[in-house]
Structure formats: C-alpha cells, structure tokens
C-alpha cells in the first residue's frame, strides 16, 4: 500500500496523538502506533490514560542518575552504558519512544529543570547526550532529544521569545544538539573494543521541539532551525514532535508542518479551524509536506522496536524463571531468619533486662 492510498483525514490524524502517550497508527496501512515515555531519568510507563505531569500511577521502573550527575562523570562510555540500560528497560515496559534526554544548555541557574540538562558547556553536554542516545538506540528505542531549541527557563516558557545572534546560537545552544544528531563524541576506548567498534553510525532518530518561540516564531515552525540547520546541515531524517501542544494555535500547525514537524504531542485538534479534509485538500504545499513528514516518521519507526511487534497494542506476560524463583526464595528465607533472630534477641536479652531492672523497685514498694 502506498501513502497516496491514505485519505487526507487519515494522514492528518496521524499528526496528532491517539492518547496521552500513544501515537496514532493506521491498521489499513499496517502502520503501528507506538508508546512514548516522558523522561529523561527513567522509563515512566504510566497506566490507564496517563498524564504528562506524572501524577497518575506508573509501572515500577528504575530511577537513573540525573543528567547533571551523569555529566559530572565526564565519561561518555559510562553514559552510553546508562543509555543501554534505559533502552533495555523501555523494551521491557513496552515503550518505543523515550522523550529525552534533555540537552538544553544551562544558561540560567534559576531554570527549574537544570537537573535534567547536562552542562553549561556545549561539548560536554553534547558528547554525554550523544552517548546516552547511542546506548538507548542500540536497543531499538527511538530517542527524542529535547527541547530544540533555546528552552532555557520554565517560568512562562510557553510564551517567551528568545533572541540571540546566529553566532551565539551555533557556538552554544545548538552546538550540543549537533553532537547527538551527527553521532559525534565516540569514546576512544570503543575503537579497540570489537563489541563497540561499529557504534556511533546513526545519530538521534527523534527530536522534541520547545514551547518557547525563536524570535517571534514558534520553535516547531522555525524553518531556519528545523529545516536549514537540523535537516539540511545535520542530516536529520527522523521523527520531529512538538512538546505537549496538540494541534493548537500556539503550535502554528500549518507553519510547523511546512517546517518538518511529524506530529503534535497531545490530543487531536484544539480549535484549529483549517485542520479538516476540505481545507487541507486545497493546499498543495501542505499535502506535500504532510506526505514528506510521514516518510520521516515511518523511517524512524522502521529503525525502532515498534517494527518488532512491540507497540501500543502489545500485551506483556511476566515469566517466572527458575533463577528468579530462587532469588525471591532466598529473600523470603532471609526475612524469616531475620524475624526469628529479632524475636529470639527480644526474648533472651531485652525481657530479662527489663525484669531485672523492675524487680528491686517492685520489692521496695
């Protein structure tokens, strides 16, 4: 089946989320939906409908060290190992896309999410983030580096407009992202390691754009960054998703699609009147852009574990292996022995001591 065989409604539907954490697939075209997990310090696989604030319950998962802690190691090889662990856990929790790592530069010490970002240095931040990306993607997980670009504060980040010179942007705020998309920063030790020699061949397959504006233009709609630099210069051909904007006026949907946005994170259309088949069918540029962006998405999906049968409809069965049964048995036996020991200690030491202490007092009365 060709993309041309899909209707305009079907194509437009795939640009928005199916639920809080699931993308929209298409059964007729055998395009799988995929499951996303917000991060970046673990695989937050929420149960039920979910929420982007993490208030609802989630499946048990590992809490990994914060980005600033990982950067403090100055060790890309260790960061790559952490990325592998994230990728393995994502697979076990039926997650296809990790919304992270966070790679914004720390420009202001008051930014409320500095712990999620690596460093104020673009090379250190870029090499550590690139290593995490490489590790996670080696396990088949699609990694969405975020937030491109200039997301440097949390207060009013949905409305702030960031201005800077192109030289400043390229030398600092964009330079770190560049390392992840170009798969730079391969540790020297990997060259002598046969298991790692052929790594760092593919940059990040996904990106999440930022809430803020770049100048007066929504970041997802800024063609200078999203097309000229990201796709044309850095060679990015993957999945480009907005932050939690949905298809809303804030995200400038038409301009964002024309600038290479593959999907709008969140629920469907939020009041955009021209987002219907009748209007879109009259806009040739939009139809061509939607088709191209679907190609980007499908290429990223084809290089992820979503094509291995792990997607939004996957059901996982836990299997009790013999070694896990032994491990749990040892833990249970240790707990019983500990309780018996505490009971024995109480009986032989504490009670006689109390009786001895209370005896003379009772006799004197």
Hey, which residues are catalytic here? 243
Angle CA 127–133–135, to nearest 5: 105
Q: How close are the terminal C-alpha atoms of the chain, in Å?
A: 98
76-92 vs 122-137: helix crossing angle, rounded to 10: 40
């Amino acid at each position: 089946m060709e993309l041309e065989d899909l209707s305009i409604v079907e194509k437009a539907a795939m640009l928005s989320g199916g639920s809080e954490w699931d993308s929209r697939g298409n059964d007729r075209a055998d395009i799988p939906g995929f499951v996303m997990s917000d991060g970046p310090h673990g695989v937050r696989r929420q149960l039920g409908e979910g929420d982007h604030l993490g208030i609802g319950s989630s499946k048990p998962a590992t809490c990994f060290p914060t980005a600033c802690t990982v950067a403090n190691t100055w060790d890309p090889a260790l960061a790559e190992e952490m990325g592998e662990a994230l990728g393995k856990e994502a697979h076990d929790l039926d997650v296809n896309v990790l919304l992270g790592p966070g790679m914004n530069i720390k420009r202001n010490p008051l930014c409320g999410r500095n712990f999620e970002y690596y460093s104020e240095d673009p090379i250190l931040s870029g090499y550590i983030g690139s290593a995490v990306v490489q590790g996670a993607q080696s396990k088949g997980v699609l990694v969405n580096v975020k937030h491109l670009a200039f997301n440097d504060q949390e207060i009013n980040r949905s409305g702030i407009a960031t201005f800077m010179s192109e030289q400043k942007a390229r030398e600092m705020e964009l330079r770190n992202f560049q390392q992840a998309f170009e798969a730079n920063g391969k540790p020297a030790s990997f060259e002598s390691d046969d298991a790692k020699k052929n790594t760092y061949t593919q940059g990040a397959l996904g990106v999440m754009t930022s809430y803020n504006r770049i100048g007066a233009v929504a970041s997802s709609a800024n063609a200078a960054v999203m097309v000229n630099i990201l796709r044309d210069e850095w060679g990015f051909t993957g999945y480009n998703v907005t932050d939690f904007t949905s298809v809303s006026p804030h995200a400038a949907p038409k301009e964002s699609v024309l600038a290479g946005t593959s999907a709008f994170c969140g629920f469907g259309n939020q009041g955009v009147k021209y987002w219907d088949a009748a209007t879109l069918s009259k806009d040739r540029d939009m139809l061509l852009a939607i088709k191209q962006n679907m190609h980007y998405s499908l290429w990223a999906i084809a290089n992820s574990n979503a094509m291995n049968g792990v997607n939004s409809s996957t059901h996982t069965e836990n299997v009790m292996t013999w070694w896990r049964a032994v491990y749990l048995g040892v833990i249970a036996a240790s707990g019983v022995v500990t309780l018996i020991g505490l009971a024995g200690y109480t009986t032989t030491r504490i009670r006689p001591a109390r009786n001895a202490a209370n005896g003379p007092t009772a006799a004197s009365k």
